[in-house]
Amino acid sequence: MKIARTVAEVRQAADCCKVEKARLGLVPTMGAFHDGHVSLFRAARAECDKVVVSLFVNPAQFAPHEDLARYPRDETRDAELAEDEGVDILFAPPADELYPTGFHTWVDPEGTGAEGVRRPDHFRGVATVCVKLFNIVQPDVAYFGQKDAQQAAIVRQLIRDLNLELELRVVLTVRDPDGLALSSRNTYLSADERLRALTLPRALRAGREAYADGADPVAAARAAFNGLDPDYVEVLDLGNAKLLAAAARVGETRLIDNVVLEGELT
């Protein structure tokens, strides 16, 4: 596996793939790999000839009071795992490679509810780094996880709005056996907090069951949130799928999750 640190290096490596007319898959990540990332790598591996994974803890998507400094980082382990999964190129640039001094241009999606309301500049940071990664790597397909469903919807919209030439795949959320959605931020949870965090998937399941019975999923999920105070519980319409999404803080850790109410994520 080639590890690229600069835009020039990853461009050169990705161009070599293009010369071979390979189908190129990109999995954008912030590292601290878990089985959710592995499922994205495997989806890319199954559909593409070459797989590029970017590993970049994007400062632009964290607000000043958020967890940028303590976000879990373990590049050595991540590189081993990516190599074991057959990733061809790992793009792990330093921050000033993507945001050099004098960087002034942002991609700012409008009207982002739910997460966008609680984290005002978050999707601007996500959209900007994704457009940069798409321009740099020029993938045929990019892979995103369902857990960040609103992010995937925003990226789908920006691909359409900016006439980018790539397909987007949304891969189903991977959960621990007890139902907690895998997230790099789960490592922040103490044993007691981890137990309390299970309220989030439970409440979403209660909402989904209510919806199937013709009742209000938001009210049902809210009623099942015992012990946790959700930031929001909202139905998100992603075009091809309707989701019930929620965020809640457990101690210092903010978790998000969602379930599909109807339709299919593609």
Contacts with ligand PAF by CB under 6 A lie at 28-30, 58, 61, 126, 129-130, 148, 151
Please, which residue, 14 or 30, has the CB nearer to ligand PAF? 30
SS3 256: strand
**Shorter beta-carbon distance to ligand PAF: residue 144 or 225:** 144
Q: How far is the CB of 33 from ligand PAF (least distance, A)?
A: 11
Residues 258, 211: Cα–Cα separation, whole Å? 14
Cα separation, 170 vs 182, whole angstroms? 15
Q: Which of 37, 65, 104, 122 is catalytic?
A: 37
Q: Which is nearer to ligand PAF, 58 or 138 (CB)?
A: 58
Shortest reach from residue 233's CB to ligand PAF, in Å: 21
| 65 labelled catalytic | no
28 forms beta bridges with 54
**Residue keyed to tokens 């293009």:** 18
Closer to ligand PAF by CB, 30 or 204: give it.
Answer: 30
The CA distance from 218 to 211, in Å, is 9
Per-residue burial over 138-167, b if 16 or more Cβ lie within 10 Å, else e, is bbbbbbbbbbbbbbbbbbbbbbeeeebebb
Inter-CA distances, 186 with 5, 48, 127, 223, Å: 28, 30, 24, 24
Tokens standing for residue 143: 């892979």
Closer of 10 and 126 to ligand PAF (Cβ) = 126
Q: How far is the CB of 54 from ligand PAF (least distance, A)?
A: 7
CB of 29 to ligand PAF, least distance (A): 5
Burial string for 239-253 (b: 16+ CB within 10 Å, else e) reads eebebbbbbbebeeb
Residues assigned a catalytic role: 37
